[in-house]
Structure 1
């Protein structure tokens, strides 16, 4: 996945906004809260994608090739992962994890805010 595809996917999720900040990174938000970041690659010529994860997914992905605990976030105890392998074979996985990040962040919004934004979510307590 490249940044254009990343932005297209994140932009297709309900009530999202995009800003460029933090060292020219593509930052995606729902309800004003960050759920995905495209940027911060240690290899400037290769994309990297950062997203929030459930505790279970965090533990799993932390041990998987192509993923690392997200710089800055993980060192502060937050369950964020960075996908560093963007060669394409993990694109479908990335779409799933971006959708999950969106869901987790949106669940953190008040019900009133979700209603204002027209967001209807399934709460899967086992993973959150």
Structure 2
């Protein structure tokens, strides 16, 4: 997945917002909460997303994936796809979708209603 494809995928999700921060990273949010980040690792895009506890245990050991720097060190279950082989584009998109759903589901009901979720 390219950075442009990542941004297009995230932009297609309902009620998302995009900011560029943290050293030119594309940060995608729903209801003001981050669900996906694309930054750089060794001149290649690095994609970061939230996962379940089980997925964190499985994905952390896969080549090209790692616990997300900063986020995982604080006990959060976030994974970073930073090198090959990692995930294929379909799998990466599915994990980004799941991250969006997890973040959106934890928003207060009033916020979800206001966002049309």
TM-score, scaled to structure 1: 0.87
TM-score by length of 2: 0.94
CA 116–86 in structure 1, closer or farther in 2 if over 3 Å, else same: farther
Matched residue, 2:34 = 34
Report how many residues are paired: 117
Query: Is 2:65 the partner of 1:67?
Result: yes
Q: Are 1:91 and 2:89 an aligned pair?
A: yes
Large movers: runs of 4+ above 6 Å: none
Residue 102 of structure 1, CA deviation: 0.3
- Does the 8 Å contact 1:2/1:47 carry over to 2? yes
User: CA separation in 1, counterparts of 2:26 and 2:84?
Assistant: 15
| Offset at residue 112 of structure 1 (A) | 1.3
1:57 to 1:87, Cα distance in 2 relative to 1, 3 A: closer
Q: Please state how far the C-alpha of 1:85 moved relative to its aligned partner.
A: 2.9
* Structure 1: gaps spanning 5 or more residues: 120-128
**Bigger share in strand:** 2
Deviation sequence 1:3-49 (CA, Å, 0-9, x none): 100000000000000000000000000000000000042x0x21100
RMSD between superposed Cα atoms in Å: 1.5
- Residue 104 (structure 1) aligns with: 102
SS in 2 for 1:47: strand
Unmatched segments (≥5 aa) in structure 2:
none
